[in-house]
């Protein structure tokens, strides 16, 4: 979704702002803009489309400004065009905004009635106008920001620059904001994502909701001050060193971040297992023993929801904990039956997904304990939950989630083993090691998967099927394919086919059939049903089954031995690579698929 980068300091702000925004491109956007101070005036350059369009505008004049704010916009209120792109500005102020102002239309009407003129259809401009209006009466930018912020409803983050000084301001509610400082270079940065600040700001601060940050540069130092909305100094912020590695900012020798991230999986699994079973995570996981909740309400979106569906099987099988796994945007509006001795479990890579956050809030309000399975330490979800289980996937840049899914499922398994008191058994570590080796071998075998992709990529549609634990993998495989290759793909429980979807089968429809040793015969009969209707079958299943080979057009054989609980992850990696190669053949923008955003901070 939208990205923010602000800079004040001694160098030309254009370079760190554009570099920061380019790092945030992975989040998805449809226009980009920058506000600079040129000749003492606030000048805005903004352009619909990719960041390169803005780079083109900048190249015409090569402006220099020691303060600036930049933004990549993912449209919510108002069409994708130059006027609606951020920053929004006037003589006195310029603002960039992430989130939604829920009462914008009411406020806009009131302001228009007072004679204020708007240049865009965005909700964001309402904040600019409020700020400008209040600055006239309050006589101070800080006071005006506080008043404007108190007037708006909804979750938002703003960075503000002003004509009067080279200071930068930020404020936010339930939306990400990070302030960075480089004391040696006398520089201050504000951003929606610490990733934008890697290599620029060694020290970062996360202000809490309704805290105003102000960055100031003097002849001798850079400083960031924090204020409450009543303008008293605030201590409601958390400081830390920026822990993201600079390596995360590059693709290395891979053509895409998605491919790099698929290949990272074997090492990440082993790292997580070593941390949880033999390292510092031990106390967290071992501490679960004997503390099973009566019920887990698992909520998440998209790929994270699929991970939840896999995790449910662990909790029910090994811990006999009852679970409901639900899409967050449904759960939050359903008035679910929640009891105090139950636990809300929220799965999220970003920790900023609006619907998932709303579910956490709902469970918290009803008195449930809340746990997260999350990648981003310090994210809103991480901060709001009572307990966090970090998946340790590192930065995930590809919009299509791959390594986060794997680490989420693995984290759920480790939790389940923790509850069962089996974490330290040799089998758990050993199985993850076997999994890691098998996944590494699949990654090495990309040529085989590429050859299959070549046979399939022009087909009309894809039906992914699986039974039991492979059903969520069928859903995940279909999601990955549709989101990056833009082809129609559906995931079904294999036994459901004959209840409707089988009508779709013809010789242009591909059935990607997932089979494990469990329920093999049942799943095989489902494949036969498809074959009888001339469907094209690509099966992924256990090796050495001649019947499967006979009925399928293509088979990718896997060794399921030694993987009684985690084979789903192995099967899913084959699907990740298949989607990747189909998308590559179709020539789509794999790391930044159309219409998608990496972290969905609006509902």
Biggest CA-to-CA distance, the chain: 81
Does residue number 72 form part of the binding site for ligand F6R (CB under 6 A)?
no
Which listed range, 143-151, 175-183, 300-308, 553-561, lies at the site for ligand F6R (CB under 6 A)?
300-308
Binder of ligand F6R out of 89, 99, 194, 302 (CB under 6 A): 302
Among 182, 319, 329, 348, binds ligand F6R (CB under 6 A): 348
**Rounded distance between C-alpha atoms, residue 3 and residue 23, angstroms:** 9
| 401 scored as a contact of ligand F6R (CB under 6 A) | yes
Contact status, residue 153 vs residue 103, Cβ threshold 8 Å: yes
Tokens of 601: 């901070």
Position 380 contacts ligand F6R (CB under 6 A): no
Look-up: residue for tokens 């398994």?
413
Nearest distance in Å: CB 176, ligand F6R: 11
Q: Residue 87, SS3?
A: coil
Catalytic, out of 2, 35, 170, 301? 2
Among 400, 443, 512, 551, binds ligand F6R (CB under 6 A): 400
Binding piece for ligand F6R, criterion CB under 6 A, among 27-35, 62-70, 213-221, 348-356: 348-356
Q: 2 catalytic, yes or no?
A: yes
CA angle centred on 73, ends 91 and 47, rounded to 5°: 65
What's the CA gap between 245 and 79, in Å, rounded? 36
Q: Does 122 bind ligand F6R (CB under 6 A)?
A: no
171 vs 600, beta carbon nearer ligand F6R? 600
Q: Mask 453-492, x = binds ligand F6R (CB under 6 A)?
A: --------------------------x---x---------
Q: Using the rule CB under 6 A, is 98 a contact of ligand F6R?
A: no
Count of residues touching ligand F6R (by CB under 6 A): 15
Query: Residue 533 burial by CB count (10 A; 0-12/13-18/19+): exposed, middle or buried?
Result: middle
When asked if residue 452 is in the footprint of ligand F6R (CB under 6 A), the reply is no
CB of 417 to ligand F6R, least distance (A): 23
Cα–Cα distance, 471 to 461 (Å, whole number): 18
DSSP letter, residue 120 = S
User: In the complex, what is the shortest distance from the CB of residue 261 to ligand F6R, in angstroms, rounded to a whole number?
Assistant: 11
Partners of 93 in beta bridges:
162
Asked whether position 84 contacts ligand F6R by CB under 6 A, the answer is no
Give me the least distance between CB of 131 and ligand F6R, in Å please. Answer: 31
Shorter beta-carbon distance to ligand F6R: residue 54 or 300 = 300
Residue 478: is the preceding peptide bond cis (ω within 30°)?
A: no
CA distance 559 to 437: 11
In this chain, which of 349, 388, 511, 576 binds ligand F6R, going by CB under 6 A? 349
Does position 192 bind ligand F6R by CB under 6 A? no
Answer yes or no whether residue 360 interacts with ligand F6R by CB under 6 A.
Answer: no
Of 370 and 526, the one with the shorter C-beta distance to ligand F6R is 370
Least distance from C-beta 598 to ligand F6R, angstroms?
Answer: 7
Instruction: Give the residue, chosen from 356, 407, 552, 565, that forms a contact with ligand F6R under the rule CB under 6 A.
Output: 356
Q: Is 536 helix (H, G, I), strand (E, B) or coil?
A: strand
Q: Which residue is nearest to ligand F6R (CB)?
A: 302
Q: Rounded CA gap, 209 and 231, in Å?
A: 14
Report the residue number, 301 or 323, with the smaller CB distance to ligand F6R.
Answer: 301
Stretch that binds ligand F6R, among 129-137, 276-284, 296-304, 331-339 (CB under 6 A): 296-304
Q: Which of 108, 480, 592, 598 is catalytic?
A: 598
Q: Are 560 and 514 in contact (CB under 8 A)?
A: no
Among 192, 372, 599, 601, binds ligand F6R (CB under 6 A): 599
The Cβ-side half-sphere exposure at 534, using a 13 Å CA radius, reads 5
* C-beta of 42 vs 381, nearer to ligand F6R: 381
3-state SS assignment for residue 35: strand
Q: Which stretch binds ligand F6R (CB under 6 A): 77-85, 211-219, 295-303, 543-551?
A: 295-303
**Helices 446-456 and 567-586 sit at what angle, rounded to 10 degrees?**
60
Q: What is the DSSP string of 358-407?
A: HHHHHHHHTT-EEEEEESSTTSHHHHHSSEEEE-------SSS-SHHHHH
Part of the chain binding ligand F6R (CB under 6 A), chosen from 160-168, 226-234, 334-342, 343-351: 343-351
User: Which strands form 461-466's sheet, in the order they lie side by side?
Assistant: 488-493, 461-466, 509-514, 536-542, 554-558
Shortest distance, position 375 Cβ to ligand F6R, whole Å: 7
CB 401 within 8 A of CB 264: no
Least Å distance, CB 480 to ligand F6R, is 6
CB atoms within 10 A of CB 91: 9
Q: Does 132 bind ligand F6R (CB under 6 A)?
A: no
Segment contacting ligand F6R by CB under 6 A, of 7-15, 282-290, 299-307, 553-561: 299-307
Interface residue with ligand F6R among 96, 130, 262, 304 (CB under 6 A) is 304
Distances (CA, A) of 468 to 68, 432, 574: 54, 21, 18
Residue with smaller CB distance to ligand F6R, 272 or 301: 301
Binder to ligand F6R among 350, 436, 565, 579 (CB under 6 A)?
Answer: 350
Q: What long-range pairs does 113-117 form, CB within 8 A, spacing at least 24?
A: none
Closest separation in Å from C-beta 356 to ligand F6R: 5
Output helix, strand, coil percentages for the chain, rounded to the nearest 5.
Answer: 40, 25, 35
From 10-18, 161-169, 266-274, 349-357, give the range in contact with ligand F6R by CB under 6 A.
349-357
Q: Which of 13, 8, 7, 57 is nearest to 31 (CA)?
A: 57
Q: What count of other Cβ atoms lies within 10 Å of the Cβ of residue 183?
A: 13
Residue closer to ligand F6R, measured from CB, 120 or 350: 350
C-alpha–C-alpha distance, residues 551 and 529, integer Å: 10
Asked if 258 touches ligand F6R (CB under 6 A), the answer is no
Query: In this structure, what token pair is assigned to residue 592?
Result: 């930044």
Site for ligand F6R contains 353 (CB under 6 A): yes
* Structure tokens given for 506: 């013809």
3-state secondary structure of 441: helix
Binding site for ligand F6R (CB under 6 A): 301-304, 348-350, 353, 356, 400-401, 479, 483, 599-600
The residues assigned a catalytic role are 2, 598
């Amino acid at each position: 979704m939208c990205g923010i980068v602000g800079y004040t300091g001694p160098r030309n702000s254009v370079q760190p702002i554009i570099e920061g925004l380019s790092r945030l491109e992975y989040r998805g956007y449809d226009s980009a803009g920058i506000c600079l101070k040129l000749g003492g005036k606030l000048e805005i350059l903004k352009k619909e489309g990719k960041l390169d369009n803005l780079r083109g505008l900048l190249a015409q004049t090569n402006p220099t400004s020691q303060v600036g704010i930049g933004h990549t916009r993912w449209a919510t209120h108002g069409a994708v065009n130059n006027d609606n792109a951020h920053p929004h500005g006037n003589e006195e102020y310029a603002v960039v905004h992430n989130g939604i102002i829920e009462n914008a239309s009411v406020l806009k009407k009131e302001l228009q009635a007072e004679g204020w003129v708007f240049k865009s259809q965005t909700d964001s401009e309402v904040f600019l106008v409020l700020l400008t209006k209040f600055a006239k009466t309050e006589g101070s930018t800080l006071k005006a920001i506080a008043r404007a912020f108190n007037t708006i409803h909804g979750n938002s983050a703003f960075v503000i620059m002003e004509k009067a000084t080279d200071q930068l301001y930020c404020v936010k509610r339930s939306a990400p904001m990070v302030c960075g400082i480089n004391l040696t270079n006398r520089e201050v940065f504000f951003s929606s994502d610490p990733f934008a600040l890697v290599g620029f700001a060694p020290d970062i601060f996360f202000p809490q909701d309704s805290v105003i940050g102000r960055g100031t540069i003097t002849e001798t130092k850079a400083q960031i001050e924090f204020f409450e909305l009543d303008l008293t100094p605030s201590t409601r912020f958390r400081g830390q060193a920026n822990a993201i590695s600079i390596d995360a900012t590059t693709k290395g020798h891979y053509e895409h971040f998605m491919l790099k991230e698929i290949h990272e999986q074997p090492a990440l699994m082993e790292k997580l297992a070593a941390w949880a079973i033999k390292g510092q995570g031990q106390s967290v996981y071992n501490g679960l023993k004997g503390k099973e909740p009566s019920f887990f309400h698992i909520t998440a979106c998209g790929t994270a929801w699929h991970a939840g569906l896999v995790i449910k099987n662990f909790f029910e099988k090994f811990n006999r904990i009852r679970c409901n796994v639900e899409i967050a945007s449904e759960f939050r509006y359903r008035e679910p039956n929640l009891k105090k001795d139950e636990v809300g479990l929220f799965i999220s890579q970003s920790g900023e997904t609006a619907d998932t956050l709303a579910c956490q809030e709902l469970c918290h309000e009803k008195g449930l304990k809340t746990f997260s399975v999350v990648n981003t330490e310090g994210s809103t979800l991480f901060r709001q939950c009572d307990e966090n289980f970090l998946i340790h996937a590192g930065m995930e840049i590809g919009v299509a989630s791959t390594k986060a899914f794997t680490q989420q499922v693995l984290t759920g398994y480790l939790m389940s083993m923790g509850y069962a008191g089996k974490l330290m058994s040799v089998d758990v570590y050993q199985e993850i090691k076997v999994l890691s080796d098998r996944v590494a071998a699949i990654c090495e075998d990309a040529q085989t998967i590429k050859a299959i992709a070549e046979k399939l990529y022009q087909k009309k549609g894809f039906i992914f099927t699986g039974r039991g634990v492979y059903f969520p993998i069928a859903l995940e495989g279909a999601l990955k394919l549709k989101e990056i290759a833009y082809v129609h793909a559906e995931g079904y429980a294999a036994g459901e086919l004959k209840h409707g979807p089988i009508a779709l089968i013809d010789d242009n429809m591909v059935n990607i059939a997932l089979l494990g040793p469990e329920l093999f015969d049942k799943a095989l009969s489902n494949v036969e049903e498809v074959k009888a209707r001339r469907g094209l079958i690509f099966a992924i299943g256990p090796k050495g089954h001649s019947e499967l080979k006979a009925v399928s057009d293509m088979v990718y054989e896997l060794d399921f031995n030694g993987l009684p609980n985690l084979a789903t992850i192995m099967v899913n990696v084959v699907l990740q690579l298949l989607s990747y190669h189909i998308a590559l053949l179709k020539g789509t923008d794999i790391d930044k698929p159309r219409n998608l955003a990496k972290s969905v901070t609006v509902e």
